[in-house]
Structure 1
Amino acid sequence: MRITIKDIAKIAGVDHSTVSRSLNDSPRVSKKTKEKIKKIAEELGFEFNHNARALSSQKTGTVGLIYPETYEQTGTSLFLAYLLKNIQRIFEKHSLDVIIKFPKNKFTNESNIKKIISQRKVDGLIIASPDILPEDWEYINKFNIPVTFLHFRPKYFHSDKIDYVYTDHKKGGYMATKYLLNLGHKKIITITDEMYDTQFQDRTHGYQEALEEVGYKLKAENVFKCKTSFEAGYELAKENLEEFKNADAIFAQTDIVALGIQEYLKSKDVKIPQDVSIIGYDGLEIGEFFSPKLTTILQPKDKLADLACERLVELLKERKEGIYLHKILEPKLLIRESCVEKK
């Protein structure tokens, strides 16, 4: 016989909504009533949210990883897949399972964050997405779920009251552009992502800052947008061949787009880097396998994952009021073969 919330309510002498609130540990129910209802539920063998252990320990042994919709784009997925591998390794070390979700269900448009929290499927969250809405954040706070933001600079929220780990993307954009300027390049095109989330805004601001530092103004015609994929970079170069051929250098704000551009230009007898220098961003290993090897801005992928995951593990054990991890990591210039001094 399957025990239901109504059965528990009948035995406890309360309505079923009180039972539901008690099992969800709602502050609207007294401690005495919650303990009574949980005891009845355990004695009857009631399995709440598919995990009876949660009734006594209030722990699922699972954390949620919220990924952006753009994970389906090739370039984004390459970088985030590397992070995912490290995240799973770290949590496995702590005997924690990982549930991976987009912020919302693309078919129903319902919040996946609210769903996994309301169903008590996770003890905490790593949020590696820029698409978290204020109402999702309010829901997270309502249920007091530990959270660490990873890779993306959080929007909407007071950054002094959240835990986060991400790369200094503005500095990365500045470093890439400054390197090209120091090589003597003047007309520098940049390619950002069409979604233009916080990380790409920061990279573009860094690009702009480096230009302004030497007296160049940001020109709208030198900023292009496309999806983050090899194919998108290839097609963008195809559609703008003359502009790209006439540039001194190209700063593509992801490696995979840089490689797509590089391969198309090569197919049109544009010599890289003799005719046009190209620099990417992310530090993906795949850049080593193209000719020329791609110069890039390296994100500290291992350290990003380590710091974010270890911080969440700390929060799952103990949360200290007013103490937050604010870590912005330094990118590095990785010089390979795709940039050369302007003659």
Structure 2
Amino acid sequence: MTVTIKDIAKLAGVSYSTVSKALNNSPLVKEETRRKILDVACEMGYEPNLAAKQLVRKKTDVIGLMWPTIERIVLATLVTNISKAFEKTPYSMILSVDAQETAVDTFRKFQVDGMIVFGESKHMHLYDYTIPFVVYGVSESTQPLYPIIDANHEASMYKAVEHLHQLGHRQITYIGQYDKSDALQIEKVDGYVKAMKKLHLADYIHIVDSNGLNWFDGYSAIDRALESKPTAMIGGSYDLSGGMIRALQEKGFSIPHDISLISYDNIPQMANMEVPMTCIGVPVHLLAEEIVQAIIHQIESPTEEPTVKKLTPTLTIRESTGPSPEPSDS
């Protein structure tokens, strides 16, 4: 049998409104009375009617996360860190890996207070949503139509190329997905090209389209990458770089003595690869915290103009990078 507030009021010998105030931690109820009411509620096995509370407050304290997949290690890791970041807040999270419109319909049914959207596609239709949302993606304007958390892939690629350049490398190849509809991947490619040009390495620019971001895509791309005789490579994702390591080792290359490797994605798993991987990117726990704080701010301050927050990537140096085996020309 369901225990109601009226049942608690009768047993505690107080009014219905006093019980309601006590259960909501109102300062209008004396501490002694509040403790008595809470003890009675606990003994009776009372569980609050969340649906009723949400109806009164017009707020669910639930945020929807619209994600493309959890099959890739880095996206699963980021989801896990976002969930942990929510544990420090009053909000809970529900995850959808469905198509965009299906996910939004689901979130509407759950009456979420806000949404986090993974903005890899340039063709997402986001402008007419009535639910507050934040996009994790690429900012293409200083006056965006919606709030964006930008992990600054371009700066990441610059730091990666710069690090290898400082080690004496001049033949630096990039392996990654070259899908022009994927804004995140295109920014990585653009960042690599800009860095190579700025460091006067434009004559060598070599981009290998992995046609995907998974382990086997990286493994399969190595033959094409070796055609230009690189001394260093940059992998576009954690999964890609894992496949790259395996393929190079099978071909007898020693990492980093023959070829140095840097990977995009700054996640803890990089330290446990076959060769501990030097990596670049915003550390995943910091990225998760920024995303969570951004959507909470959007929910609680809806009248503010949407902004772009570009984050600062971090280079984490491990055993996969070393001096170039060939003498540099400068």
With the shorter chain as reference, the TM-score category is 0.7 to 0.9
The CA distance in 1 between the partners of 2:244 and 2:113, in whole Å, is 43
2:319 counterpart letter in structure 1: E
The CA distance in 1 between the partners of 2:57 and 2:122, in whole Å, is 29
> Does residue 1:80 correspond to 2:75, yes or no?
yes
Q: Against the structure 1 CA distance between its residues 58 and 254, is the aligned structure 2 distance closer, same or farther, given a 3 Å change threshold?
A: same
Cross-structure match for 1:57: 57
1:175 counterpart letter in structure 2: K
SS in 2 for 1:139: coil
TM-superposed CA distance for 1:226, in Å, is 3.0
Cross-structure match for 1:89: 84
TM-superposed CA distance for 1:283, in Å, is 2.0
Cross-structure match for 1:341: 323
Cross-structure match for 1:202: 187
Q: How does 1:255-294 map to 2 (within 5 A)?
A: 255-294=238-277
> Does residue 1:149 correspond to 2:132, yes or no?
no
SS in 2 for 1:240: helix
Q: Against the structure 1 CA distance between its residues 267 and 153, is the aligned structure 2 distance closer, same or farther, given a 3 Å change threshold?
A: same
TM-superposed CA distance for 1:118, in Å, is 4.4
1:171 counterpart letter in structure 2: A
Alpha-carbon RMSD across the aligned residues, in angstroms, is: 2.7
1:289-312 CA-to-partner distances (Å, cap 9, x unmatched) read 234321111322222221221232
SS in 1 for 2:257: coil
Cross-structure match for 1:138: 127
The CA distance in 2 between the partners of 1:55 and 1:287, in whole Å, is 45
Q: Against the structure 1 CA distance between its residues 104 and 338, is the aligned structure 2 distance closer, same or farther, given a 3 Å change threshold?
A: same
More helix by share: 1
The CA distance in 2 between the partners of 1:128 and 1:218, in whole Å, is 35
TM value normalised by structure 1: 0.71
The CA distance in 2 between the partners of 1:334 and 1:327, in whole Å, is 22
TM-superposed CA distance for 1:126, in Å, is 1.0
Cross-structure match for 2:102: 112
1:53-105 CA-to-partner distances (Å, cap 9, x unmatched) read 55443323321101125x43x3xxx2222222222223233332222123617
The CA distance in 1 between the partners of 2:122 and 2:183, in whole Å, is 12
> Does residue 1:215 correspond to 2:200, yes or no?
yes
SS in 2 for 1:126: strand
TM value normalised by structure 2: 0.73
What is the aligned counterpart of 1:299 among 260, 282, 290? Answer: 282
For structure 1, list consecutive stretches of 5 or more residues without a partner in the other structure: 1-49, 106-110
1:279 counterpart letter in structure 2: I
Q: Against the structure 1 CA distance between its residues 112 and 54, is the aligned structure 2 distance closer, same or farther, given a 3 Å change threshold?
A: farther
The CA distance in 1 between the partners of 2:318 and 2:188, in whole Å, is 20
Q: How does 1:120-135 map to 2 (within 5 A)?
A: 121-131=111-121, 133=123, 135=125
Q: Against the structure 1 CA distance between its residues 67 and 181, is the aligned structure 2 distance closer, same or farther, given a 3 Å change threshold?
A: same
1:58 counterpart letter in structure 2: K
The CA distance in 2 between the partners of 1:138 and 1:207, in whole Å, is 31
CA contact (8 A) 2:148 2:308 kept: yes
SS in 2 for 1:180: helix
The CA distance in 2 between the partners of 1:314 and 1:229, in whole Å, is 34
SS in 1 for 2:135: strand
> Does residue 1:330 correspond to 2:303, yes or no?
no
Identical pairs, percent = 24
The CA distance in 2 between the partners of 1:243 and 1:82, in whole Å, is 34
Larger CA Rg, structure 1 vs 2: 2
> Does residue 1:101 correspond to 2:96, yes or no?
yes
2:57 counterpart letter in structure 1: S
For structure 2, list consecutive stretches of 5 or more residues without a partner in the other structure: 1-49
What is the aligned counterpart of 1:173 among 150, 157, 180? Answer: 157
What is the aligned counterpart of 1:318 among 257, 280, 301? Answer: 301
Q: Against the structure 1 CA distance between its residues 290 and 319, is the aligned structure 2 distance closer, same or farther, given a 3 Å change threshold?
A: closer
1:1-37 CA-to-partner distances (Å, cap 9, x unmatched) read xxxxxxxxxxxxxxxxxxxxxxxxxxxxxxxxxxxxx
CA contact (8 A) 1:241 1:265 kept: no
SS in 2 for 1:83: helix
> Does residue 1:66 correspond to 2:66, yes or no?
yes
The CA distance in 2 between the partners of 1:209 and 1:51, in whole Å, is 53
1:240 counterpart letter in structure 2: R
Q: Against the structure 1 CA distance between its residues 51 and 194, is the aligned structure 2 distance closer, same or farther, given a 3 Å change threshold?
A: farther
Q: Against the structure 1 CA distance between its residues 92 and 290, is the aligned structure 2 distance closer, same or farther, given a 3 Å change threshold?
A: closer
The CA distance in 1 between the partners of 2:98 and 2:114, in whole Å, is 15
1:268-290 CA-to-partner distances (Å, cap 9, x unmatched) read 21111111111111122222223
Q: Against the structure 1 CA distance between its residues 83 and 159, is the aligned structure 2 distance closer, same or farther, given a 3 Å change threshold?
A: farther
1:80 counterpart letter in structure 2: L
Equivalenced residue count is 275
